[in-house]
Amino acid sequence: MIDVRLLRTEPAAVRSALARRHDPDLDAQLDLAVDLDERLRTITAERDRVRSRVNELSRQVGERRRAGDVARAETLQDESRALGQRERELAAEHGRVDEELHTILLTVPNLPHPEAPDGSSDADNPVVHGPFGVEAGFAEHQRVPHWETGEALGILDNARATKISGAMFSMTRGAGAALGRALCQLALDRNADAFEEIRPPSLVTTETLTATGHLPKFADDAFAVERDGLWAIPTAEVPLTSIYGGEILGEEELPRRMMAATPCYRREAGSAGRDTRGLLRVHEFDKVEILAIAAPDQAPDLLDDMVGRAEGTIAALGLAYRTIEICTGDMGQSHHRSFDVEVYAPGVDQWLEVSSVSWFSDYQARRANIRFRRTGEKGTEIAHTLNGSALAVPRVWAAIAEHHRQPDGSIAVPDVLQPYLRGLERIA
């Protein structure tokens, strides 16, 4: 969440920055947050005055009793009791208002980076790298949807997945399943030079899902295990971000870079009938996530590095791709600056997002209470977080099945994947 102190000290700057998100509801949210914050400070000041007076009265009561002035001591004690009741009332009111303010701040989005492009929708997202690999065009045999190729080769069996689990679930088989596993291992290996591999839990608490900004706003998109008060992770970003929640790291420990290959679960609320064939939009999929916890001054270089890593993996797979920067009106709630890597899938004639790399400034870390202490200093600072999809399997799998489809209907396995597929060069 944003720092409430910014609303006190720089309200115009906060409103100006959030106006770039083109959300007409934000002004009302900010007005409410400012009012609640002022009310909270007023209550706090009165509570502290009452508490100070109660302490003073307690001292005076003791003095009067020692002096034998019982009548005066009892009068002072009656006043102390009345003020004690008022203190309890103020404490209860403080708790209510503080909770209201916290709830509002959870819904206020992050401030966009000054260099993030202005825009009101995804139509305004500029291409910043590429496109690469589209110069030669695509042959007719490449313009077959991946679900047709996958079914013909026996490596994609969504009909049986639907029978087992319902709509928008997928199932790969044989070389198709091995291809998905190989993609994950490739992404892990390509980032192992700098990122610690972790296998976090796939179920997390409400507090953990709230820390990344997925709750409360995106509750409808998450799978809940209500009996146990847990949530299935939509991405490994969620558990990785909270590993250091509530901790203070040393400056020398930063950046902390982590990666994880996990299943991801998303309801995809409102997507029925839209891009749901094949592997384009599914409830469960595998993904390798990379994440960094950093000092503010480290974050810009980390963002560039993580975008480059995502691009490099897609390029190594021989896929056509481009990178777009997300404009202010299309940013996710927690994002400060964000880039998407997209691959072109000729069989569906679409650019498919396969990686989103984002810098969250201190927005997530403030929710998770991740701090660091600079060397030689006493105080602490809120850390910055960044994360990105090193590789999300379904759409990359789809793009390979279309881009590398051969005239005879087989799929040529990209060279970098062959070692992970026991030397398999072609899926036929």
Which residues contact residue 233 at a Cβ distance below 8 angstroms, ignoring those fewer than 6 apart?
A: 200, 201, 202, 203, 204, 209, 239, 262, 263, 264, 265
Mean pLDDT over residues 160-169, rounded?
95
Predicted local confidence at residue 218, as pLDDT: 82
Q: Is the distance from CB of 170 to CB of 282 less than 8 angstroms?
A: yes
> So what's the pLDDT on residue 272?
55
Q: Please write the tens of the pLDDT for every residue from 336-351.
A: 999 999 999 999 999 9
- Break the chain into its structural domains and give their ranges: 4-107, 122-427
pTM, two decimal places: 0.91
Q: State which fold the 4-107 domain adopts.
A: Helix Hairpins (1.10.287)
User: What does the pLDDT look like over 205-221, one tens digit per residue?
Assistant: 999 999 998 888 888 88
Average pLDDT along the chain: 95
pLDDT tens-digit readout, 261-292: 999 999 986 555 557 789 999 999 999 999 99
- The answer to whether the beta carbons of residues 204 and 169 sit under 8 Å apart is no
Spatial distance between the Cα atoms of 245 and 257, rounded to a whole number of angstroms? 15
Residue 64 or residue 152, greater confidence: 152
**Per-residue pLDDT at 370 exceeds 60:** yes
Q: CATH second-level architecture of 122-427?
A: 2-Layer Sandwich (3.30)
Res 393 pLDDT > 90: yes
